[in-house]
Structure 1
Amino acid sequence: MRCDYFETGLCRSCSWLADPYTAQIETKTAAVRALLPEPSQGWLRPVTSPRERFRNKAKLAVGGTVEEPLLGIPALAGPPGAVTDLTACPLHLTAIEQSLTPLRTFVCDARLVPYDVPARRGELKHLLVTANPRGELMVRFVLRSREAEARIRKHLPGLLAALPSLRVVSINLLPEHAALTEGAEEIYLHGESLTMEVAGLALHLRPQSFFQTNTGVAAALYRQAADWIRELAPRTLWDLYCGVGAFALAAARAVPGLAVLGVEISREAVASAQRSAADLGLGNVRFEGGDAATIENDDADAPDVVVVNPPRRGIGPDLAAWLEASSTGAVIYSSCNPQTLARDLAAMPSLRLERAVLLDMFPSTPHAEVLTLLRRTD
């Protein structure tokens, strides 16, 4: 894949772009296998990704002026707060790239003044755009305050006319001067959720709900987990850090009658998961809000299988200790950080690594997703 931004030195996010893709997979595989114990049933073939047009979400910093806004990333050179325009990034789905010109026009029309980082002035900090496989869109304007809300509402009909595939529009408020992408408060302007079709499931995705950035590889991830769960044939399953419920719902579809509990700290994600379960008619799936890392239950309540999909920091010592001491027979651990995965596996010696697969969520970078199946040995 060629990228003008990379070749001219404007962006280095795809740090491995110059390397052949086969070499990238070999390097990632070797690095992960060096960190983890050898699975008793071996490694599955790595799941690869297209090198372009795979990102279903664009997280764009906003710079420039209200007359000529820039949508991209913080510049690698230049004055503090400068932004490099990345509206033609070849990683984004085509629907996202095609939406950026109308969105830039909307920023001008609604007079959304880009936030000036050094001066701490302006309103529009980030533009977050998500697309589903059908090209339908969710757009979130991350603002410093509600100052521009009336203008956004006034010009919104024009944006909806320019982008008929737009399903969700919201304002996210980030009043703090901080290195954050979004804040805690969301103001809905149009629609509530974007339907993301993946692995035979129609998942509702609301603002502030986490979903894997690479839809194609995510589908392989959920299918593989469902296959393992089908083989395990459990009666009960917990999906911890469940997000919008993909693992939980895939498990419920794979094993009829399976009693599933999903736990997630994000209220928006829980609401998304509950709606998806209702639409799918899966009455045996329940979702609750809570911090999965500090879950407390008597061992008598431990499920047959636990699925964990934590952030980069891993599941941590408390949850690892509970899983180690519990009667849970199997754990499916989906990790976006093999280093913390290795640490957590070492804290659960009674759960032996049986199978593993590397999934390349982010080609041309050193990042790797690993799905593992752990079985209790005692």
Structure 2
Amino acid sequence: MRCHYFDAGLCRSCSLLETPYADQLTGKQHDAQTLLEPWGSLSWLPPVTSADQAFRNKAKLVVGGTSQQPTLGILDRQGQGIDLTDCQLYLPAISRAIPVLADLIRRADLTPYSVQKRKGELKNILVTASDSGELMVRFVLRSKKLIVALKRELSWLHEQLPQLAVVSVNLLREHVALVEGNEEIILTERTTLPMQVNDLTLHLRPQSFFQTNTEIAAALYRQGQEWVAKAQPGTLWDLYCGVGGFALHAAQVMGEGSTVTGIEVSAEAIESARRTVVEYGLDGITFAAGDATTFALGQVEPPEVLVVNPPRRGIGGELAHWIEKSGIDMVIYSSCNAKSLVKDLASMSSLKPVTARVVDMFPHSTHYETIVLLQRA
């Protein structure tokens, strides 16, 4: 893939762009195998490959420039906007939406926030697309000043983007290096974006986490589901469950009378997961908002199978030590940072990696996912 932004030195986020994709994948596989080498021989399944373009289901667009000449992309080191509207990584629905959003900024006279001057209102626009082309658009503002102007243009925006499902305002009042804040104001009747993943429809609310690459997320869930189907546990926990991807897929292959529990700190994600449970009429599956470690340490009985899908920092020492002492025979660890994975494994010496797979969620970057099946020795 050639990128004129990369060639011009304007954006180097795709640090491996000049490396052939097959070589990128070989390098990631080698990195993962090297990191897990101290745990002895284990079976490596073939890596899961991604499309090398048009795979990102979300765009985090920093707004720069002026209301009449906005940039949608990133900021340079001086805090000036770099327009990346032609980025080839986005799904087609997002690529079609970006020029419309630039027009909206001009129509509604939405003043971009200046990092240097600490003035202005519109900080970021966050766009998520489903494979069907439906869109969720979130405007990250410094205050509520522009909400009226945005509401005035909603009809026009729907005309330009007929597949627009959810529009919201997120408030990030502080001058901090964050993408979004905690307060969300939904401006549309619809509140969730349906995401089709394998044969399940997952519902994404504005502040729910969902994997960046839908096809690769589907492959991750299928792998976890395959391992659960072979084990046929009576009880399973999915910690850091997000909108319930692993838990819902596991519930499909577990026997009658089995129970599944999903725990996620984001209340928005839990509401999304609960909607899927109701929609499919699923029994024996419970989702609750809370801290994964606090939940685990507060339970009397551990599950037969544990799934963990933590953020980049990993599960941490406290939860890892609890898992080590819990007696759980089987753990499925889905990791977006193999270095934190091996750090956690060092605290769970009784659990041995037996099967692993590299899943390429982020082509052209050094990042990748690793899913590992652990069995108690």
Same fold (TM over 0.5): yes
* Residue 49 (structure 1) shift: 0.6
In the other structure, the counterpart of 1:75 is 76
Q: Deviations over 1:91-135 (max 9, x none)?
A: 000100000111111111122100011111110000000000001
Could you list the structure 1 runs, at least 4 aligned residues long, displaced by more than 6 angstroms after superposition: none
Q: Is the 8 A contact 1:302 1:328 kept in 2?
A: yes
In the other structure, the counterpart of 2:49 is 48
Q: Is the 8 A contact 1:170 1:188 kept in 2?
A: yes
> In structure 2, the residue corresponding to 1:145 is in which secondary structure?
coil
Distance 1:216 1:256 in 2: 27
Tell me whether 1:363 sits opposite 2:363 in the alignment. yes
Distance 2:99 2:121 in 1: 20
In the other structure, the counterpart of 2:64 is 63
Aligned letter for 1:329?
A: D
> In structure 2, the residue corresponding to 1:295 is in which secondary structure?
helix
* Residue 41 (structure 1) shift: 4.6
In the other structure, the counterpart of 1:98 is 96
In the other structure, the counterpart of 1:85 is 83
Q: Deviations over 1:120-155 (max 9, x none)?
A: 111000000000000100000000000011111111
State TM-score, norm by structure 2.
0.97
In the other structure, the counterpart of 1:20 is 20
Aligned letter for 1:255?
A: M
In the other structure, the counterpart of 1:305 is 305
> In structure 1, the residue corresponding to 2:34 is in which secondary structure?
helix
State TM-score, norm by structure 1.
0.97
* Residue 230 (structure 1) shift: 0.3
Aligned letter for 2:270?
A: V
- Which runs of no fewer than 5 residues in structure 2 stay unpaired? none
Aligned letter for 2:203?
A: H
> In structure 1, the residue corresponding to 2:96 is in which secondary structure?
helix
Matched residue pairs, number? 374
Distance 2:298 2:350 in 1: 18
Q: Return 299-308 or 108-117, whichever deviates more.
A: 299-308
Q: Is the 8 A contact 1:295 1:319 kept in 2?
A: no
Tell me whether 1:315 sits opposite 2:315 in the alignment. yes
In the other structure, the counterpart of 1:210 is 209
Q: Deviations over 1:36-57 (max 9, x none)?
A: 1456551000001111000000
Pair 298,82 (structure 1): closer, same or farther in 2 beyond 3 Å: closer
Aligned letter for 1:75?
A: D
Q: Deviations over 1:189-236 (max 9, x none)?
A: 012000000121100000111000011111110001000000010000
In the other structure, the counterpart of 2:157 is 159
Aligned letter for 2:17?
A: L
In the other structure, the counterpart of 1:285 is 285
In the other structure, the counterpart of 1:32 is 32
Distance 2:191 2:35 in 1: 42
Q: Is the 8 A contact 1:39 1:356 kept in 2?
A: no
Q: Is the 8 A contact 2:71 2:81 kept in 1?
A: yes
- CA RMSD across the alignment: 1.2
Aligned letter for 2:231?
A: L
In the other structure, the counterpart of 1:127 is 125
In the other structure, the counterpart of 2:250 is 251
